[in-house]
Amino acid sequence: MFRIHAAELLVVRLPLKFRFETSFGVQTEKVVPLLVLHGDGVQGLSEGTMEFAPMYREETIAGALHLLREVYLPRILGRTFANPEALDDALGSFRGNRMARAMVEMAAWDLWARMLGVPLGTLLGGRKDSVEVGVSLGIQPSEDATVEVVRRHVEQGYRRIKLKIRPGWDVQPVRAVRAAFPDIRLTVDANSAYTLADTGRLRALDDFDLTYIEQPLAWDDLVDHAALQGRLRTPLCLDESVASAQDARKGLALDAGRVINVKVARVGGHAEARRVHDIARAFGAPVWCGGMLESGVGRAHNIHLSTLPNFTLPGDTSSASRYWETDVVNEPLEAQDGVMPVPTGPGIGVTLNRDFVERIAEVQEEFHP
Ligand code: OSB
Ligand code: MG
């Protein structure tokens, strides 16, 4: 049992070290909403992955802050819960907004694991003390620049290279990278930039031995993905289209994809992420842990989730130092040779750098019952 005595909401803005270009546009900074739940002598931390503008999915930071302040936090403050899954009693009837709800759920898991004195991954049923990671590389200005940035990350030992693509920037960069690195595990991510009318273009990618093509079609579509998968040799990987374990079941049953990118916040938290993992395993489909350019708080959550057994493909949870000059947590989260150590210690195993966070916070609010 744990009781939630109080909560804090903090929003910080971190400049990205690189220009991250995708089919959505260009990103140069990250706005990070952080939630701290206060329990009996311990705190639980989480991070929101919704965006300023709804590009990836429909949720926004402003919408999430409203829901936390006015709807979710008032229903959990001062209450006692048997375990994190019992939060469904308070929040389960609200529709959608899974990233906003995940902030509460994930902070509750961290709080619960810290109370029990165990690492979150262990509590979720994971058994690894390190996880394999790859890297997600934005669209570069040229083929040469793409090969160069891939080279740098291959040399750092990353176990998989993912290239962002969009119509007009797909076969050329992939051909150039494959020619330079015949043996690397290579994937592409279109972030929903194509339609079935582009089937010919996407079929051309079958020649490059890609491990998968991530989310080529619409964010809310499974049917067209199934039609496309029927015409490609390369497995499709679903990202945006999977907001729940039921979506995962439908997608795999339809053969709309053969791999799932699990993002814990996208599906509403760790309990649902674990159900996605379990369903994929029942279908014999591998999963991997995606990222949303998280700060150290979300990154640590992702690393712990990745310790579950069916996370058999490298995730996007690359070294925090790639993204930021200064992170919001005190502990470094650094991969060595493409292997990320799981933070040891209770909960997510990282602590908030309070001085830094409070100095740059654009929002800092406390909530009591
Ligand atoms: O589609 O996986 C995606 C970042 C923001 C939104 C969507 C995606 C991504 C990434 C980056 O690919 C992964 C990372 O480095 O965190
Ligand atoms: Mg993706």
pLDDT by 10s per residue, the chain, length 369? 999 999 999 999 999 999 999 999 999 999 999 999 999 999 999 999 999 999 999 999 999 999 999 999 999 999 999 999 999 999 999 999 999 999 999 999 999 999 999 999 999 999 999 999 999 999 999 999 999 999 999 999 999 999 999 999 999 999 999 999 999 999 999 999 999 999 999 999 999 999 999 999 999 999 999 999 999 999 999 999 999 999 999 999 999 999 999 999 999 999 999 999 999 999 999 999 999 999 999 999 999 999 999 999 999 999 999 999 999 999 999 999 999 999 999 999 999 999 999 999 999 999 999
Entry field: residues in the chain? 369
Distance, CA of 195 to CA of 292 (rounded, Å): 24
The verdict on the CB of residue 240 being under 6 Å from ligand 1 is: no
Active site residue 128: no
Whether 242 contacts 260, CB under 8 Å: yes
Token pair recorded at residue 16: 């990205």
* DSSP one-letter code for 326: S
Q: SS3 of 47, please?
A: strand
Tell me how far apart the alpha carbons of residues 106 and 35 are, in angstroms, rounded to a whole number. Answer: 9
Report pLDDT for 170: 98
Pairing of strands 25-38, 43-47: antiparallel
Distance 214 CA to ligand 2 centre (A): 6
Residue with tokens 């639980």: 44
| Lateral strand order in the sheet of 6-22 | 43-47, 25-38, 6-22, 363-367
Which ligand lies nearest to the CA atom of residue 315 in the structure?
1
Q: Which two tokens stand for residue 318?
A: 């690359």
Q: How far is the CA of 287 from the centre of ligand 1 (A)?
A: 15
Q: What is the pLDDT of residue 297?
A: 98
| 65-297-118 Cα angle (round to 5) | 120
The answer to whether the beta carbons of residues 15 and 325 sit under 8 Å apart is yes
Which of 316, 317, 318, 324 most suits a substitution to test ligand 1, by most atoms within 8 Å of the C-beta? 316
* Ligand found nearest the CA of 260: 2
Query: Is residue 164 annotated as a catalytic residue, yes or no?
Result: yes
How far is Cα 294 from Cα 312, in angstroms, rounded to an integer?
A: 21
H/E stretch holding 198 reads none
Structure-block tokens of residue 128: 């690894």
Give me the pLDDT at residue 247, please: 98
Please count the other Cβ atoms lying within 10 Å of the Cβ belonging to residue 176.
18
Q: Using the mean position of ligand 2's atoms as its centre, give its distance from the Cα of residue 243 in Å.
A: 13
Please name which ligand lies nearest the alpha carbon of 289.
1
| Total-model pTM | 0.98
Contact 225, 238 (CB under 8 A): yes
Q: Which residue has the tokens 């040229």?
A: 142
* 97 touches ligand 1 (CB under 6 Å): no
Given a contact cutoff of 8 angstroms between Cβ atoms, the answer to whether 106 and 270 are in contact is yes
Q: Is 239 in the pocket of ligand 1 (CB under 6 A)?
A: yes
The separation between CA 256 and the C-alpha centre of its own chain, rounded to angstroms, equals 20
Residue nearest to atom 9 of ligand 1 (CA): 292
Which atom of ligand 1 is the closest one to the Cα of 215?
1
Which sign, positive or negative, has the C-alpha torsion 243, 244, 249, 252?
positive
Pairing of β 6-22 and β 130-132: unpaired
Selected catalytic residue, list 30, 128, 162, 164: 164
Residue ranges near ligand 2 (ion) with Cβ within 5 Å: 189, 214, 239
Ligand index nearest the alpha carbon of residue 236: 2
Q: From the CB of 136, is ligand 1 less than 6 Å away?
A: yes
Mutate to test the pocket of ligand 1, among 56, 136, 213 (most ligand atoms within 8 A of CB): 136
Mutate to test the pocket of ligand 1, among 59, 293, 306 (most ligand atoms within 8 A of CB): 293
Cα-to-centroid distance, 289 and ligand 2 (Å): 10
DSSP secondary structure letter of residue 69: I
